[in-house]
């Protein structure tokens, strides 16, 4: 026996008849609370530089970052995520600039927390912006990433960011065991309320190209790839194992990256673990939307909001998106 009334007793279109009914029965919605806004930093003063492959996105000096942070608060976006573009002369094979307490990211954290203590500050922990070879860790003679050596550096980097005032540390490196190492180090330093959002299922995706331009790692990486530490796009079960390990090691939140091409993984992770689950609408996704809109092929705002809603429908608790401010402004105007 069907639990639903058959036609004509049941007419599903009744619930789509008018706007107020559609709103009443809507299952999911997007709000500014769902957004984390990724921003790119570079050195200097009153200095901004457009990222050519990401229309509307710029690298900003710290003084120009502060008005962006204020805008986040005005629009109700709760958190900002920092990604540095490091000058080439500061890069080396071991990414040593990542451990500079007076480096770009620690200074940006301090400036943000001084001016806007109520804004959440999240930092990316990986070595690719800092290494001369563009990989996320220390390499051996063959170019292979040394897991444990890299984890040691990343752990020190995480503590440095937390001491500077970062609220959330977000390791994006995909090294084995880094969450446990960071959690132990943070506990030892008394930084017990520093949250860890693990890039638990980060795929070796072709959608990252514009991001690598933005942080300046594309030229360093050259024709190399990250397939021996980021996940194979063909694998789903492996993502659940990776998430399970990070949760067991002390992650407070987990992330799937990229976003829209991996909504099945978002769904599976949320269903399996019921942990705070985030998705990253990555640079390639953003760039495609912008390019199609600039060519008049799609309605930018409609597609932007529909894509963000898809994350929520798939089970994401939050979304890292370069469209955060645009979407928050749209929500303010349209309710």
Cβ(158)–Cβ(125) under 8 Å? yes
| d(C-alpha 233, C-alpha 208), whole Å | 13
pLDDT digits (tens), the chain, 335 positions: 568 898 999 999 999 999 999 999 999 999 999 999 999 999 999 999 999 999 999 999 999 999 999 999 999 999 999 999 999 999 999 999 999 999 999 999 999 999 999 999 999 999 999 999 999 999 999 999 999 999 999 999 999 999 999 999 999 999 999 999 999 999 999 999 999 999 999 999 999 988 777 776 656 666 778 999 999 999 999 999 999 999 999 999 999 999 999 999 999 999 999 999 999 999 999 999 999 999 999 999 999 999 999 999 999 999 999 999 999 999 999 97
Neighbour tally for 249: CB within 10 Å: 18
69 in helix, strand or coil? helix
**What does the buried/exposed string (b/e) look like for 120-143 if buried means 16 or more CB atoms within 10 Å of the residue's CB?**
bbbbbbbbbbbbebbbbbbbeeee
The β-bridge partners of 199 are 255
State the catalytic residues: 202, 257
> Given this model, what pLDDT does residue 222 score?
67
- DSSP category for residue 138: -
> Given this model, what pLDDT does residue 225 score?
87
| d(C-alpha 56, C-alpha 171), whole Å | 26
| d(C-alpha 158, C-alpha 162), whole Å | 6
Cβ(265)–Cβ(205) under 8 Å? no
> Given this model, what pLDDT does residue 216 score?
63
> Given this model, what pLDDT does residue 10 score?
92
| d(C-alpha 165, C-alpha 115), whole Å | 12
Structure tokens at 26: 């809507």
Q: How far is CA 51 from CA 178, 211, 296, 304, in A?
A: 31, 9, 21, 19
CA 146 to chain centre: 24
> Given this model, what pLDDT does residue 220 score?
63
Q: What angle do CA 30, 56, 43 make, to 5 degrees?
A: 110
Q: What is the pTM of this model?
A: 0.95
Exposed, middle or buried by CB within 10 Å (0-12, 13-18, 19+), for 248?
A: exposed
């Amino acid at each position: 026996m069907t639990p639903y009334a058959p036609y004509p007793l049941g007419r599903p279109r009744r619930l789509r008849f008018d706007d107020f009914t559609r709103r009443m029965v809507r299952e999911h919605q997007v709000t500014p609370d769902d957004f984390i806004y990724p921003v790119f930093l570079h050195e200097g003063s009153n200095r901004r530089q457009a990222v050519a492959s990401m229309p509307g996105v710029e690298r900003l000096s710290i003084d120009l970052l502060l008005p962006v942070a204020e805008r986040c608060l005005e629009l109700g976006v709760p958190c900002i995520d920092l990604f540095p573009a490091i000058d080439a002369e500061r890069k080396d094979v071991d990414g040593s600039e990542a451990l500079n307490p007076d480096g770009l990211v620690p200074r940006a954290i301090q400036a943000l927390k001084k001016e806007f203590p109520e804004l959440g500050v999240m930092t990316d922990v990986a070595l690719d912006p800092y290494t001369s070879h563009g990989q996320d860790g220390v390499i051996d003679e063959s170019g292979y990433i040394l897991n444990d050596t890299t984890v040691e550096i990343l752990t020190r980097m995480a503590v440095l960011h937390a001491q500077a005032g970062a609220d959330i540390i977000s390791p994006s490196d995909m090294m084995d065991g880094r969450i446990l190492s960071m959690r132990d180090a943070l506990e030892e330093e008394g930084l017990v309320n520093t949250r860890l959002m693990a890039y638990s299922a980060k795929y070796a995706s072709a959608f990252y190209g514009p991001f690598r331009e933005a942080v300046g790692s594309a030229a360093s990486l050259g024709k190399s790839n990250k397939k021996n530490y980021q996940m194979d796009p063909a694998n789903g079960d492996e993502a659940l194992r990776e998430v399970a390990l990070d949760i067991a090691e002390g992650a407070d939140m987990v992330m799937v990256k990229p976003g829209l091409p991996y909504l099945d993984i978002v769904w599976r992770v949320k269903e399996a673990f019921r942990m705070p689950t985030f998705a990253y609408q990555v640079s390639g996704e953003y760039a495609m939307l912008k390019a199609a809109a600039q060519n008049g092929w799609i309605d930018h705002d409609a597609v932007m909001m529909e894509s963000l809603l898809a994350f929520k429908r798939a089970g994401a608790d939050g979304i890292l998106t370069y469209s955060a401010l645009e979407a928050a402004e749209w929500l303010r105007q349209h309710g």
